[in-house]
């Protein structure tokens, strides 16, 4: 498995199967999950062994490659029908992030256009999945470059959830900006919110910050407001699971609260995501489904019960930050400013032109 | 030990020592701590075996009774000096809540005024500590009555941390309002924030809500904004560790964030506390010390490490909510409205007149 600057790669295709870092076991141990069937990929996505919108997009793409192999010899229409059935089930594994559906649609389109036999088709799908993974890394490095240009010397930047190498194929989105700014010697300091209930900030972002030697402190999510009131936060940078055409942002539950806090304290609130996270078909965030996850994520921590048995729980996993609270959206094409309906559409056009020019 | 409607009492004097419910072990087990020296009381307060501003005030008062017994026979001035030294150390156990200092000052005043020998003085101090405990329960029941008058039928009320019987000698402050409204048949529903890092909401408030059969759901702290945006919160009611003369409120870290969210969504934000939590000597909240607690509260949950070793942590335990974000302050004397400098002072005058009239 190729290793990157973080020491491990979130996901990689190894000959005939997909290998994932088991993110539920970090930072205690670095364990890997071998997925040899598309159902195993779906299970890993549902259990959040792989998480982060770009990472689950790429994982699902490789899952569909596995599905193509599992279907075996079949008449073309039957083959496509079974591939689409697998894609539908993978798509339902996590409803909020758009990258999952985006990656599956891209592979299904490739399958429908392809004229060859199932074996040649499977090779073509693998190439498409590998392209999605490679483009994600490329997009993240570009996000890092564009975003870092906004960062002033010595900025204290608050971030949320995990948007690093682990949330993507490599390098990260919001975290990629932090990493680039740090490597450029800007002397940034990072405040990482722990991100209840799954603690991606405490477990994963802390781990990546330590690996890169970026000066940082871990805080509880509810300390963010206090630290802003004390003038200790210069900027908020978060990722996104889905962005509507108007710039409304679905992201990890708690992001909306940070956006309101940032507005109250007049602190820039920046979102970083590849254009594959923008759902241009959705006019605004009201159409984004919010995943409700199991109560056990709230009642138990690290396998240990903290709340009394029988206590009802509400556990929405995402929230919607309206575009008017967002200062800028950084994609691989550049920094989009409000109004996002125009600026995101312009970025899409630039992106399409660049792809077409290859 | 006398039992109340919650089944257990937070703290009680038993002949010659103080018995506390060990709140670090709830809801898994109901264990008790026997404090036979004033230093044991200080240790229990520091370790948060007893917590909640009114509860630590009463506990410290009984701690000073123990100190008076430990000093033994001594010349009057030496006795008072040693009592004051013990009070100074107890006072430093937790810096933010004012009730601790308020209760100790009340006992020290009693000691200075008392003309009898050390044994008679100790009896007088015990009577004063018992009076503080009894008055706290009485004040909480009055807070519950006054506060419940504000509550409309079917209100969905968000609360934070633990302000119930466990945070007080009995009955609770903000929780006392919920309890009274529920008992009056108002059909309220409660959203309890888990309250990281110490999880008083998940562990203690959930437990009290279940005991009283109040319809409720537990949420992560960072879900509050999302639920408000969906119109699922009609009112926020929280407690206080110290209130400045102008109405600025020090309370559990995260309270300030809830106040900003409530203002953004035009939801009433109500604070409930006895007048003993109002520090009339402080003009505003800028003078309230904010306790910074150990990193291990954030890096570990239930004794299990969640963050990687070596990760720096910021763990402020309280924050300050400015008075302009507070809709009302409910005390045992009634509901104070802005401007609080006037309304709190008026409540103090009413309270003093009632006490004087006994």
| Structural element, H or E, at residue A268 | none
Q: Check B316 against A222: CB less than 8 A apart.
A: no
Kindly state the DSSP code that residue A152 receives in the 8-state scheme: P
Is the model more confident about A288 or about B4?
A288
Assess whether pLDDT exceeds 80 at residue A356. no
Tell me what percent of the residues of chain B surpass a pLDDT of 90.
91
Q: Check A218 against B307: CB less than 8 A apart.
A: yes
| Structural element, H or E, at residue B258 | helix B255-264
* Predicted local confidence at residue B76, as pLDDT: 87
| From B290, B306, B313, residue closest to A199, measured CB to CB | B306
- The catalytic residue positions of B are 241
The closest alpha carbon to A45, from A59, A24, A34, A26, belongs to A59
Shortest alpha-carbon distance between residue A222 and chain B (Å):
4
CA distance A194 to B314: 11
Contacting residues of A for B221, CB less than 8 Å apart: 196, 220-222, 254
The closest alpha carbon to B35, from B52, B17, B21, belongs to B17
Contacting residues of A for B315, CB less than 8 Å apart: 219-220, 223
Radius of gyration (Cα) for chain A, nearest Å? 20
| From B227, B260, B308, residue closest to A225, measured CB to CB | B260
The closest alpha carbon to B271, from B283, B259, B253, B260, belongs to B259
Nearest CA in chain B to A322: B229
* Predicted local confidence at residue B355, as pLDDT: 81
Assess whether pLDDT exceeds 50 at residue A137. yes
Supply the mean pLDDT for chain A: 95
A254-311 pLDDT per residue, tens: 999 999 999 999 999 999 999 999 999 999 999 999 999 999 999 998 788 999 999 9
Shortest alpha-carbon distance between residue A203 and chain B (Å):
5
- The catalytic residue positions of A are 241
Q: In chain B, what are the domains?
A: 11-140 (1.20.120.420), 142-354 (3.40.50.10470)
Q: What is the mean pLDDT of residues B254-269?
A: 98
The token duo for A186 is: 């800007």
CA distance A256 to A246: 16
Query: Is A9 within 8 Å of A170 (Cβ atoms)?
Result: yes
B111-155 pLDDT per residue, tens: 999 988 888 999 999 999 999 999 999 999 999 999 999 999 999
Kindly state the DSSP code that residue B204 receives in the 8-state scheme: I
Indicate the length of chain B as a whole number. Answer: 358
Q: Check A253 against B220: CB less than 8 A apart.
A: yes
**E strands along A123-234, which residues?**
156-159, 189-193, 216-219
| A132 φ, ψ (degrees, to nearest 5) | -60, -45
* Predicted local confidence at residue A289, as pLDDT: 93
| A157 φ, ψ (degrees, to nearest 5) | -115, 125
* Predicted local confidence at residue B7, as pLDDT: 55
Q: Which pLDDT band holds residue A3 (cuts at 50, 70, 90)?
A: very low
Mutate to test the interface with A, among B307, B317, B324 (most CBs of A within 10 A): B307
| From A290, A307, A316, residue closest to B202, measured CB to CB | A307
Assess whether pLDDT exceeds 90 at residue A219. yes
SS3 B91: helix
Contacting residues of B for A219, CB less than 8 Å apart: 298, 313-315
SS3 B195: coil
| B183 φ, ψ (degrees, to nearest 5) | -65, -30
Contacting residues of B for A305, CB less than 8 Å apart: 28
B301-339 pLDDT per residue, tens: 878 899 999 999 999 999 999 999 999 999 999 999 999
A249-270 pLDDT per residue, tens: 999 999 999 999 999 999 999 9
B160-207 pLDDT per residue, tens: 999 999 999 999 999 999 999 999 999 999 999 999 999 999 999 999
Contacting residues of A for B303, CB less than 8 Å apart: 304
* Predicted local confidence at residue B4, as pLDDT: 42
Q: Which pLDDT band holds residue B294 (cuts at 50, 70, 90)?
A: very high
Q: Check B202 against A305: CB less than 8 A apart.
A: no
The closest alpha carbon to B250, from B289, B276, B281, belongs to B289
SS3 B140: helix
Q: Check B315 against A220: CB less than 8 A apart.
A: yes
Mutate to test the interface with B, among A96, A195, A226 (most CBs of B within 10 A): A226
Q: Which pLDDT band holds residue A5 (cuts at 50, 70, 90)?
A: very low
Kindly state the DSSP code that residue A37 receives in the 8-state scheme: S
Query: Is B98 within 8 Å of B242 (Cβ atoms)?
Result: yes
């Amino acid at each position: 498995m190729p290793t990157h600057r973080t020491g491990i790669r979130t996901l990689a295709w190894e000959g005939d199967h997909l290998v994932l870092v088991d993110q539920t076991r970090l930072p205690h141990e670095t364990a890997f999950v071998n997925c040899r069937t598309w159902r195993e990929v779906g299970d890993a996505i549902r259990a959040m062994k792989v998480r982060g919108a770009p990472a689950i997009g790429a994982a699902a793409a490789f899952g569909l490659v596995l599905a193509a192999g599992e279907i075996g010899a079949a008449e073309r229409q039957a083959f496509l029908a079974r591939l689409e059935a697998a894609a539908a089930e993978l798509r339902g594994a996590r409803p909020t992030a758009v990258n999952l559906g985006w990656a599956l649609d891209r592979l299904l389109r490739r399958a429908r256009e392809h004229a060859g036999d199932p074996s040649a088709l499977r090779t073509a799908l693998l190439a498409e999945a590998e392209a999605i993974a490679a483009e994600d890394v490329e997009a993240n490095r570009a996000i890092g470059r564009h975003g870092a240009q906004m960062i002033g010397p010595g900025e204290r930047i608050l971030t949320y959830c995990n948007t690093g190498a682990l949330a993507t194929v490599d390098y990260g989105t919001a975290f990629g900006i932090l990493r680039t700014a740090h490597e450029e010697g800007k002397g940034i300091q990072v405040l990482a919110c722990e991100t209840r209930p799954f603690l991606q900030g405490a477990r994963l972002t802390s781990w990546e910050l330590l690996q890169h030697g970026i000066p940082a402190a871990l805080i509880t999510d509810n300390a963010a407001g206090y630290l802003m009131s004390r003038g200790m936060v210069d900027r908020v940078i978060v990722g996104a699971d889905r962005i509507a055409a108007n710039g409304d942002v679905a992201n990890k539950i708690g992001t909306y609260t940070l956006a309101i806090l940032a507005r109250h304290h007049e602190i820039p609130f920046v979102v970083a995501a590849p254009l594959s996270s923008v759902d241009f078909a959705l006019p605004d965030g009201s159409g984004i489904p919010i995943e409700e996850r199991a109560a056990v994520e709230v009642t138990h921590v690290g396998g240990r019960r903290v709340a009394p048995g029988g206590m009802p729980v509400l556990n929405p996993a995402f929230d919607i930050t309206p575009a008017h609270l967002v200062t800028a959206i950084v994609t691989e094409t550049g920094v989009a400013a409000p109004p996002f309906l125009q600026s995101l559409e312009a970025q899409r056009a630039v992106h399409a032109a660049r792809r077409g020019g290859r």
